[in-house]
Structure 1
Amino acid sequence: MSPIRFVLRSADPQRLATFYRDALGFSVGDATTGPSRTIPLRLGAQQVEIVAVPPDAAPYPADSTSNDSWFQHLALVATDIGAAHERLAAIPGWTPISTGGGPVLLPPSSGGVRAFKFRDPDGHPLELLEFPPGKIPAAWSRFGRGDGPLVGIDHSALVVSNLAASLDYYGKLGFLVLAESENAGPEQDALDGAVSVAVSVRALSRSDVPPHLELLAYREPPVRRGPIEPDGVADTRTVLDEAGACVRDPDGHAVMVGPGG
């Protein structure tokens, strides 16, 4: 089973690829030519592609929040989140989601991680993520501060409006629930840049190899429903099968699945 990878859409793939290289340490491969210009990126063993959108494609919605139904972020594993944030801060073009000016320490009930959410120059949400000592997942346990500050993509988190329906959908694609939590409190508010957040989180995986998926089911503030514009900048794609067909989950997130999916 191939590891999951992701496709981000951009009106200016080269500019976005340069940001991911300079601000986040991604390696950048050779771009393809033609109208569907594609640039491959890699962070550690995980892969992302940036694909050019058509000239008339919808931009990422300017008033986006963490509880939008089209929200899907990539969580980047930091061995030193302070250094990762400093590197990001030195590069212009991004905007913060989290409040307080830096990484947020979540309570043990929410995983005890340090995290920081922000948007890249095109509006795609991202997260810096540092695991607490003693709770580092096996996939990341071999990395230390000398390897970082960012070493790979741990997961992609998607907002869902009906947790049961989405668990059923992804279960039929072979995903099992790895972990679950109910996140709330001032730290979660600061991380999400919102007020009185209450969100159910379910971590899903098909294999031991990262990245995995996380479902975010917001109760407060309620999920803002809205269409994901096909082939627009917000139309991030999760690739499960390179040769598969593109389908939509119950909230419209694009997933590329194989013939049996």
Structure 2
Amino acid sequence: MAIRSHCIGMTVADTNSMVNFFEEIFDFESQGCTNIPNLSCSQFWGYPNSSVHVNTLKLGRELLEIRSSSDINSFRLPVDTNGNDLWFRHFAIVTSNIDDAFNRIRDHVIFTSTSPQTLPSWNVKASGIKAFKFKTPEHHSIELIQFPPGKGKPEWQSKDKLFLGIDHTAISVGNVESSRLFYEKIIGMNFLGSGTNYGVEQSSLDGLVNSKVEILSFGVDDGIGLEFLHYVEPADGRKNNNITGVNWYFRVVVCNLNEVAQKAFDNGVQWVSNGIQEIDAISDFRRGLVLRDPDGHIVEVMESL
């Protein structure tokens, strides 16, 4: 049902600064900008009395949208967000050389990890993967990741550029089964596998004490993957009760939007948009809707022209 997912989006306070951040440090390329009027924002994204400015950036084949709203105070992330908080989301930028990438970004980001970590040999599914987690100046979380030979997509083995693209987005989840129902049965993503990460490397990567996290991976026919992060320890992550607005979003393209909408309605999913909306502000799409998953994470579901 879900056929592709090439876009992650974030809402920011200072558009120019954040666009420059991704262009100058991570080599994203500008794809233009769009202004979306109040009515469209209210009906589709649930932004009351707000207009939105969207800058689209590209890295490899994947897109990152930087949005600013005239009501930005509704969209700020808590500065003390941790990976086990249930509003947590990050996306993973693939690098061909994590040491060179770390040296480039280290003076421009807020560290979550103590330093780049290499996952241990006992963790067969993740063995040899190198990663480093950090936050942008506006506290959006990002992961740098380098895949060893034989892991990840073939294109992630390229040495042509330092930053290659976006591999996946990851979300913290409270109840695995509820989240699987949403993403597999309603959105139509495919379950790819699971594993559990723990130990000193994972704690150093997450910036948490005695971190132990169950990771479930999902994919579509083409594009950005999705990971669930279900923290067994520490188990004191905060719920999404007080986080409003669309801080982060993940866009998937489906074949049959009516089917997704009906399944969402039948399963009591929270809608952000006021029903299915005709799309006139986002190119390449005919109709769309915006949903919240069981933990409040935003998913834009689009139907192609």
TM-score by length of 2: 0.77
For residue 170 of structure 1, what is the aligned residue in structure 2? Answer: 183
Which segment drifts farther, 165-174 or 182-191? 165-174
Measured against aligned partners, the alpha-carbon deviations of 1:153-207 in whole angstroms (never above 9, x if no partner) come to 0000000000111111111111121121111100000000001111100010121
Corresponding residue for residue 96 of structure 1: 111
Residue in structure 2 matched with residue 31 of structure 1 by the alignment: 33
Task: Provide closer, same or farther for how the CA distance between residues 186 and 139 of structure 1 changes in structure 2, counting only shifts above 3 A.
Answer: same
Distance (Å, rounded) in 1 between the aligned partners of 2:118 and 2:105: 18
Q: CA deviation at 1:228?
A: 6.0
- Is the CA contact 2:119–2:130 (under 8 Å) kept in the aligned structure 1? yes
The question of whether the paired residues in 2 share the 8 Å contact of 1:72 and 1:158 is answered with: yes
Q: If the length of structure 1 is used for normalisation, what is the TM-score?
A: 0.89
Q: Which one of 83, 101, 112 corresponds to residue 84 of structure 1?
A: 101
Q: State the match for 2:281 in structure 1.
A: none
- Distance in 2 (alpha carbons) for counterparts of 1:79 and 1:8: 25
Consecutive unaligned residues in structure 1, runs of 5 or more: none
Number of aligned positions between the proteins:
249
CA, structure 1 residues 38+212, in 2 after alignment: closer, same or farther (shift >3 Å)? same
Task: Give the distance between the partners of 1:178 and 1:229, measured in 2 at CA.
Answer: 30
2:138 aligned with 1:122: yes
Per the alignment, in what secondary structure is the counterpart of residue 240 of structure 1?
strand
Counterpart pick for 1:186 among 197, 200, 204: 200
Determine which structure has the larger strand proportion and give its number: 2
Question: Secondary structure at 1:7's aligned position in 2?
Answer: strand
Q: Could you say which residue in structure 2 is the equivalent of 1:215? A: 228
Q: 1:34-49 alignment to 2 at 5 Å? A: 35-49=51-65
Gaps of 5+ in 2: 37-50, 254-284
2:169 to 150, 156, 174: 156
The Cα shift of 1:137 comes to 2.5
Query: Percent sequence identity over matched residues?
Result: 32
Report the aligned-residue RMSD.
1.8
Per-residue CA distance 1:40-72 (angstroms, 9 max, x = gap): 011110001111032432421021111110111
Offset at 1:136?
4.1
1:158 aligned counterpart, secondary structure = strand
Q: Does 1:52 align with 2:64?
A: no
- The equivalent of 2:244 in structure 1 is 230
Q: Which residue of 2 aligns with 1:134?
A: 150
Check if 1:251 corresponds to 2:295: yes
Q: Which residue of 1 aligns with 2:268?
A: none
